[in-house]
Amino acid sequence: MIDERVVENIRTYGVYQDSGAGRSKVLFEDLGVRADQKADYVILTGCVQPEGMPHVFLALRGKAHPPPKLEEVFASRLKM
């Protein structure tokens, strides 16, 4: 059965559960992903959520950070 609310949210925000504001902050502010410029290379992550493992995506950009503590990951997800 298709949940029309989820479908509408995906059409409106590009995510299924909320406005995507938390994800946008992680992608564009914390990770520095550019969405308004031509890209030479693109990484398609599939089911891997950048906001759940920002240290990996920072390492890909050459800005290695230690992985976050589990408490920090769960605390940030609870705030979303």
With a CB cutoff of 8 Å and minimum separation 6, the contacts of 59 are: 65
How many domains is the chain partitioned into structurally? 1
Residue range of the domain that includes 70 = 4-79
Helix, strand and coil percent figures for the chain, each rounded to 5:
50, 0, 50
CA dihedral over 77, 18, 47, 57, signed as positive or negative: negative
Length in residues, the chain: 80
The pTM for the full model equals: 0.47
pLDDT tens digits for range 1-58: 888 888 887 888 777 677 777 777 878 888 887 778 887 877 777 666 777 777 887 8
Q: Is 58:65 a contact under the CB 8 Å cutoff?
A: yes
